[in-house]
Structure formats: structure tokens, C-alpha cells
Amino acid sequence: MLTEPEKPLELEDSLDPTRHEEALRPVESAALLAALPPERVDPELRAAARRHLAAAGRCVVAVDDDPLGTQSVHGVTVMTRWDAQDLSKALAAGDPALFLTTNSRGLPPADAEAINRSVGADLARAAGPHPVLVSRSDSTLRGHFPGEMEALRAAWEAATGEAFDAICLVPSFPEAGRLTIGDVQWVAEGGMLFPAAQTPYARDPAFAYRHSHLPRWVEEKTGGRVRAQDVASISLETIRQGGPEAFAEQLAAVTGGRHVVVNAASYADLDVFAAGVRLAEAAGRRFFFRSAAPLVKALAGIPDAPLLRPRELAAGRPSGGGLVLFGSHVPRSTAQLRNARALAGLHAEELRVAAVLEPAAREGEVARVAAAANTALARGEDALVFTSREVAAAAGRAESLAIARSVSAAMAAVVARIERDPRFLLGKGGITSSDLATEALGVRSARVLGQVLPGVPVWRPGPESRWPGIPFVVFPGNSGTDEAVAEVVRGMRGEVRSEE
């Protein structure tokens, strides 16, 4: 049966997530995970998901608020622009999943909702069986929730007449250390798990929040319209001890589009979840998903794959340097920037945010930075362009997003002035990477090759793009060790292999 929010097993009462946020404390990762029931590992579940979709002619469609939903998949297409014909063709291609990147995380709320309404209507009009619909966002709970999700759902339901019985909230991202346990979203760092609301991600100027306990987070983000006690929960105990059948039984009891928190701490948990969804759907239920990246892999039955070899990705590309663009400001990115700048044979140039935001100085700043990058690439060096690390003051959420868009657009303008093909392209941060793809490269579609590091996808842009086939590393702002970006750059040079 559906449960009230549970506390992590065997943990002291001070960590009980049904209490207020102030009572939650960081815990040792090993201790928390050891207290859980053993995983229910079934290697056949992923293959069963793939067969199920193929038999029904269906596809998992992830409407992605930045390019980072592809962090866990390979062998699928990501589209940044489309029309009804494009969608029908992509849905009929036979791939188990399709990503539609909207970059809505970098838009004001009203614009994010408008683009999701449009996507929902476009998908409903596309030919073929209805897809499995996922609103993909961030595992650290940043994004336009609930607005864009509700806009996508409402447009779909209005166009198809198909109402969803439940909204499944699945923010777990195991390879990045983002785990949902006891209805709390945890973030791993240095052997510890921290409640998400107590991390720097929760202080994002555009998407700040106060609660790690997901039912309370839903209440907070909906302004009290959805109360915490009305949010259902399916526990890890149900998933790991009861399996798909028990999960499906609980999920089938949810009606009226109720929110359901799905606890998951591993891919085995997500595979059981996906199997339970299939069973519940077979009984006539319909579900909508708001999730982090890994759920798509489980729903689509995409098998695991080894990490890509950086120097093989760059093989056959023009000789010379690569181009690295650093837009993300989270603490992990700044540490990665420091280590990347220390590489020999790399020229780093600062794009000064203060100048970018000053209309009279913007064009000159873009020209200056582009000239420095072109000089480095002409010498055969790698060129790294980074935004100044101080965060520009903003009066509120709307102004913060506007500043981020302006700076990201300036980065894209720098790339537009690059005079020779780089050996590879690396974008650091979701908004930065999206603007590089759409504004600087003109990418309409790309193939997701896989991951160069855990959670770090590589795209191969299509023939319509400015640099067709270039290895485009879409590097999340919040992923990787402090040495990760430097490691990828060295790998692309052929100096090391990141998988060794």
C-alpha cells in the first residue's frame, strides 16, 4: 500500500525525513546504503523493456530542459529544433528513446511553459503510437517545476484526451551520487551524503529551494497548492523486497494525477520501477514522469556501455587544438577550471561578465576573446574561454536568468567568430552547451555516442551543423572530479586515456 514518507532504515531519529529540514543531517554514504535492503538485481529487466517498446512500436520521449538528459544513454538521437515531419520521422526510426532539448531551464518561467505546451501539442500530432512521455530535469532539483511539467502534461492531455493517473517524481541519478532515500534527495560528496537543500545547488539564484524532503519540496514549489501529505510515496523496501509486482500494485492505486515520489538508490531500483510501470500500464494505467537523466535509460531498456575513448573520438579530426567553453559557476566547475588552466599547451582567456552586460562594451569584449582563441588555435594550442567567476548581482529570479542568457549568448558569439575547425568542442554547463549547439553550431539533431566520463555525454552533430561530426563534449556543471575536464582534454590530445 502507499506509505507515508518513511525514514531511512536503521538511522537515528534525528535523521527522520518526516521532521523539518533542520533535523536532517549529512550521513556517511556507506552507513546509509548498508542500512537499506539488498538490491533486487535482474539483468533481464532492461532487455524486457526494450522488447516491450519494440513490440508496441513506442519510444520514450524525453523533453529535456537542457542538453544533459543524455548523460546516461548512447545510440539515440537528440534534437534541438524540429517540426511535425521531423518528429514523425524520428519517432518511426526505431530508436528506443528520443531527446527533445528545449533549453527551457535558461528561459523565464512563462517562456518555459509556452515551449512545453508547444512540444506537447507537437508530439500529440506526430504519427504513430503514443510515446512514453518524460519531463527531464535536474537531479539536484533545479528547474521550472511545476510550471513546465504541468504545461507539457496539460497540452498532451488536451490534444490526445489521454489523462495521466499519476505524476512520478524520479530525481535519482546513481552515477552522480544523487540518491532518493526515505523521500529525501541526497547529494554525495567526499564519502558523505548531504540533504540536497543543504548544498550550493539549493541556493541557485533562479531555482532556490528550502526542502530536501520531496513531499515538502513539492508543497514548497507549488506554493502550497499540493500539500506534502497528499504526495504519495513508494519506498525502497517495496522496490527491493516486493519487486515489480508490488510496485505495480501500489502504483495502480494512484488516481487523479497525484504526485508520487519514487525512491531509488541504484540502477537496479530504476529497472524494477520501469518493470512495475509496464505491469501497471498493461492494466490500463497511464503515467507521466518528471525525472533526472537515468530514468530514460531504464524505461527505454538501453544497455550499459563502456566509456568512450577520448583519443579515438578525436581521430580523423583536423590537427591542432580543441575549444573549451566554461560557463558554469558552481564550485565544482570553478575547481575544474583551475586545473584545466594549469595544462601546458592551453591558452585560457577570460570573458569578463561585467563587459558583456554593458551594451557599449559587449561587442568589443566578444571580439577580443575570439581573437585570442583564434591565435591559440592557429598555434596548435587548445583554447579555453571562461566567464569571470564573480556572480553578477541580480534583483531576483527573472534578472538572474536574463544575465545567464546574456552571458551564454556572448559565449556562443565568441564561437561564431572562430576561424578554423577545432579538434573537439567541450561546453561546461547545460545552458552554455545548449547555446553552443543551437546558436553557434546550428545543430538540429545529433547522435549521442555515449559518455566520456560517468555522466558526461558526447554528441556527434549532424551534417547541417557548422562543424559536422565534431566530438562535442556536453559537460554538466555539477559532474566530475576536480581533474575531470583536464582529464578529458588530455585524452582528446591522445596523452592519456580517461578510462585507464
**What would the pLDDT profile of 393-410 be if each residue is shown by its tens digit?**
555 667 777 777 888 889
Which long-range contacts (C-beta less than 8 Å, at least 24 apart) are formed by 394-400?
394/205, 397/205, 397/206, 397/207, 398/108, 400/205, 400/206
Residue 367 CB: number of other CB atoms within 10 A?
A: 13
**Grid cell for residue 336:** 575544474
The rounded distance, in Å, linking the Cα atoms of 438 and 33 is 41
Residue 15 has pLDDT above 60, yes or no: no
Task: Say yes or no to pLDDT of 14 above 50.
Answer: no
How many whole angstroms separate alpha carbon 267 and alpha carbon 264?
A: 8
CATH 3.40.50.10840 residue ranges for the chain: 13-300
Note the pLDDT of residue 13. 41
d(CA 382, CA 424): 9
pLDDT of residue 478 exceeding 80:
no
Q: Round to whole Å and give the CA distance between 180 and 40.
A: 16
Give 110's contacts (C-beta < 8 A, 6+ positions apart): none
3 state DSSP class of 236: helix
| From-to residues of CATH 3.40.980.20 in the chain | 310-493
Give the amino acid at 240: R
* pLDDT at site 406: 86
325 is written with which cell numbers?
Answer: 567553453
Is 5 a residue whose pLDDT tops 70?
A: no
The more confidently predicted of residues 7 and 325 is 325
- Which letter does DSSP use for residue 392 in this model? P
Rounded Cα gap, residues 482 and 498, in angstroms: 14
- For residue 84, CA distances in Å to 98, 388, 424 come to 14, 40, 32
* Rounded mean pLDDT, 212-236: 96
- The 10s digit of each residue's pLDDT in 138-159 is 999 999 999 999 999 999 999 9
- Sign, Cα dihedral of 435, 60, 446, 424: positive
* 3-class secondary-structure state, position 348: strand
Structural Rg of the chain based on CA atoms: 22
User: Phi/psi class of residue 291: alpha, beta or left (left: φ > 0; alpha: ψ in -120 to 50)?
Assistant: beta
Q: What per-residue string of b and e applies to 53-72 under the rule 16 or more CB within 10 Å gives b?
A: beeeebbbbbbbbbbbbbbb
CA distances in angstroms from 215 to 123, 229, 263, 273, listed in the order given = 30, 7, 12, 19
| Residue pair 364/328 in contact by the 8 Å Cβ criterion | no
Cell output for 441 = 553550431
pLDDT digits (tens, 9 = 90+) for 487-499: 999 999 988 544 4
Contact 298, 271 (CB under 8 A): yes
Supply the pLDDT for residue 8: 38
For residues 401 and 64, give the distance between their C-alpha atoms in angstroms, rounded to a whole number: 18
What DSSP character marks residue 203?
A: G
CATH 1.10.357.10 fits 310-493, yes or no: no
CA distances to 181, 451, 500 from 475, rounded to whole Å, are 26, 10, 19
Does 146 sit behind a cis peptide bond, omega within 30 degrees of 0 on the bond before it? yes
> pLDDT at residue 11 above 80?
no
Closest alpha carbon to 101 in 71, 78, 135, 84? 78
| pLDDT averaged over every residue in the chain | 90
Length of the chain: 500
* Distance in angstroms (rounded) separating the CA atoms of residues 445 and 438: 10
Full DSSP string of 435-446: HIIIIIS--SEE
Record: fold of 13-300: Rossmann fold (3.40.50)
Given this model, what pLDDT does residue 495 score? 81
Q: Give the C-alpha separation, 216 to 498, whole Å.
A: 40
